[in-house]
Amino acid sequence: MKSRRGSTNQVESSPEGGIGPWAVKQVIFALILAAALFLSSGRLDWAEGWFFLGLALLIGLVSALVLVPGSPDLLAERSKMKAGTKSWDKGLSFAMAFSPIVMAVTAGLERRFSEVNSLAFAPLIIGAVAAILGALFTLWAMATNRFFSGVVRIQKERGHTAVTFGPYRYVRHPGYLGAVVFTLATPLILRSIWTLVPAVLTVALTVVRTKFEDDTLQEELEGYRDYARQVRSRLLPGFW
């Protein structure tokens, strides 16, 4: 416990080592997302594109307001890839991190080459509500779990332990569940049928990553097997 606290204090005393790089990554991602939306569509008068971008910026702002004061050590952990990252997760984490960009490009190309949008307006509202709920669920998991890394690794230097409260009372990987909801809501927000293809592929990758990560935690993280016996569902409560 003593070493765990010392690690946290060291990160918190050096904001530029965590919060700064994390914030830069968020800004760069937002710029890439904007470019992906409007360069692929070839137009700026795209209401759904602006709506999706604004929603992403709003979620990023809310996340910063919650995590910067409450979890600076977590932002330091998520600011860059650390030693101990599982080799199989390097590609999976990259693919999942940039899946919104792929979906944005897909929707933009459909908008560019389709004269009429094939979905009605109502799905946009449904998708927006679902996306917000999914993002908030993931944020809840991040605010609850100070070990919510962007990659799969056992954080021994931070005193890594199994988290059993908050959303982790209902499902073992609530962050992934929220991400799945957000991903499936994206084609509705962008009103793009073709975006369902990368969305479904992203969900499939999430399921695979959940399985690999859960197996890793059960084998290497002390106390996780006992927790897994109490919370039976990995990703979808009552099913898996």
Please indicate, yes or no, if residue 101 is contained in any of the structural domains: yes
> Which CATH number goes with the domain that contains 115?
1.20.120.1630
Q: What is the pLDDT of residues 3-26, one digit of tens each?
A: 333 333 443 345 445 788 888 999
pLDDT greater than 60 at residue 216: yes
Which domain does 123 fall in, by range?
A: 2-230
Please indicate, yes or no, if residue 198 is contained in any of the structural domains: yes
Compute the distance between CA of residue 135 and CA of residue 123 in angstroms, rounded to an integer. 18
Q: Are 106 and 177 in contact (CB under 8 A)?
A: no
Please indicate, yes or no, if residue 22 is contained in any of the structural domains: yes
Please indicate, yes or no, if residue 162 is contained in any of the structural domains: yes
**Percentage of the chain surpassing pLDDT 70?**
90
Please indicate, yes or no, if residue 237 is contained in any of the structural domains: no
Please indicate, yes or no, if residue 239 is contained in any of the structural domains: no
Residue at 171: amino acid letter: V
In the chain, the number of structural domains is 1
Please indicate, yes or no, if residue 236 is contained in any of the structural domains: no
Please indicate, yes or no, if residue 238 is contained in any of the structural domains: no
Q: What is the pLDDT of residues 141-187, one digit of tens each?
A: 999 999 999 999 999 888 899 999 999 999 999 999 999 999 999 99
Q: What is the pLDDT of residues 188-213, one digit of tens each?
A: 999 999 999 999 999 999 999 999 99
Burial 26-41 (b: 16+ CB within 10 A, else e): beebeeebbebbbebb
Q: What is the DSSP letter of 168?
A: G
